[in-house]
Each structure stands twice: as structure tokens, then as C-alpha cells.
A = this chain, B = another copy of it.
Amino acid sequence: MQPFETLDPGRPAVVAGMAREASAGPAHGSDAILRRFARFVTLTGADRRRLLHLAGTATPQAARRTVLTEARPCDCLHMLVAGWAMETRTLPTGERQVLRIRLPGEVFGAECLAYGQALQSVQMLTGGLIARIPRNAVADLRVRHPQVVTGLALMGLYERAVLQEWIIGLGRRPAWPRIAHLLLEIDERCRLSGLARPAGTPFPLKQRDLADCTGLTLTTVNRVLADMRRRRLIGLRAQALAIPGRDDLARACGFQPRYLRPDLAVAPGPAPKHIASVG
């Protein structure tokens, strides 16, 4: 099987902590930011230039580095210009819960502006680049680049929808479909972000990370993944995920990518039959 060099899961910029191609081709670097905003709003040239300038201030981050620590004072918005990250909370018992996975081009830490501190930690999953946007620069965006702020608001709604889907999974889905749903969600997000490659999508999460996403134990995650592989539903190796049995998998866990597609046209018609139609 291919060594998946082309599937390099977002370590475009950093090797051993050093930036290599931070401003290389158009498919790398700050480009991810613009492509992400473009999915939510239409930006002016000035908006784009401003975002690119902000992204240009990004600094390299090594894989697994903690870039933001919960409960620490913080007054900035953050842009993940390149690389993957995850937001986590650690309980007094030492247990960890992952709250979301961050893909290249995403903005995070908005809650710092409201709370004056980070509510959760952010850890890099791969090497990457992060730009900090101080409060006054955000205020400036509000005045001079309202479309950017509108984009941020819509991204917030989008993220809330994803959080809700995680709640459904944690609350009501057994281990197998819970993991299946997460894999499909990450895969779909990669596709929508243009990160997917013919052989599969990048997948820098360890089994330990999957366990902390799903509230399961490492042992259970390992057994479920082994089962999915045995059934030839997924292929997971060398930091890359392939889902040959996508339809079967989606059916088995009730995955409906609607919530990942705010741009999708509304399908008119009545609610699904299993829902009591009182309204």
C-alpha cells in the first residue's frame, strides 16, 4: 500500500519545531483561512488582505504542543493557519475529554474574548502555524471588516451544531456507532475543507485521542476499530483514514451530514416519520 506521503496530515510547515514552508505554494499556509471563510461569507479584497496579513503573523508550533491552557487568562482570538489541533478539558481525576477537533484554517478561542480566560486547553495534533489576534484587532475587524465578523458568527453556529452532535453521540449512541459517527464526521469535514485525497483523508489522531473524544476507554476504541477493519468498513494506517464502507457505516450509526453543510439547500417536506409531528 502507498506510504501516503501525499496525505501528510497537516504537518506542512513544521518539522521538529522549525517552520519549513510557512509561505510556500497557494495550497499551503494562510490559504486555508480564506477558503474556510469563503464557505460562510463573501469577503471583499480588503477583507482577504486583512486576514492574510493577520495569518502572516503566525508562529510555528510543534506537534503535541499545548498552545492554550484552560483557566489561564487570555485575551486573544487564535487562528490555526496550518496543522490540526484539538480542544480538551482535563478533570481533577486526570481524565481528559476532547471537545472538538480543529482543522487547518479554523479560528478558535473566541470564548476568551467573553470570559477573559481560556475555558479549555488547545493542543496541536500535528505541527502547524498559529496566529494570535489581540482584542483590539478584533475590535478593528468589527468596524472595518464586518463580513469577517459575520463569518465568525456563522462559524460559531456551525460549531455549536457539531457540539450538539457530539452530545447525541455521548448520550445515546453505543460505542460502535459512536466511533463510526466520529470517523465519518472527521472524514466529511476533511472533504469539505479540501483535505481529502483519493487514498483517504489525513488522520493524525491516536487511539488515545479517539477514546478521549468519545468518552470511551482506549481498550474499547481498539476493539471497535479492529472490528471495523475486519468488516472492511475502514482502513486506518499511517496517519490516514480510508472508508470503503462509507454507506454501510453511515447507515449503521445514523450519520447525516446535514449539520456539516450549512450551505446546503433546505430539503422541503415533513419531518422524518420517527418524530412526533406536533408543531
Contacts and interface: CB of A to CB of B under 8 A. Distances in A.
Interface in A147-204: 153-154, 156-161, 163-164, 166-168, 170-173
26 contacts: A65-B278, A66-B278, A67-B279, A68-B279, A69-B278, A71-B271, A72-B270, A72-B279, A90-B274, A91-B254, A97-B171, A111-B157, A111-B160, A111-B161, A115-B258, A115-B259, A115-B264, A116-B265, A119-B164, A121-B275, A153-B156, A159-B160, A163-B163, A170-B171, A171-B215, A172-B215
Contacts of A72: 270-271, 279
Interface string A38-76: 000000000000000000000000000111111111000
Chain copies in the assembled complex: 2
A92 interface: yes
Interface string A254-279: 10001100101111101110111111
Interface residues of A, number: 66
Given A66-B276, A171-B97, A172-B215, A164 B254 contact: no
Nearest to A266: B116
B157 A114 contact: yes
A214 interface: yes
A214 B167 CA distance: 10
A254 B93 CA distance: 10
A254 B114 contact: no
A167 B163 contact: yes
Interface in A80-117: 89-92, 94-97, 99, 110-111, 113-117
Nearest to A113: B157
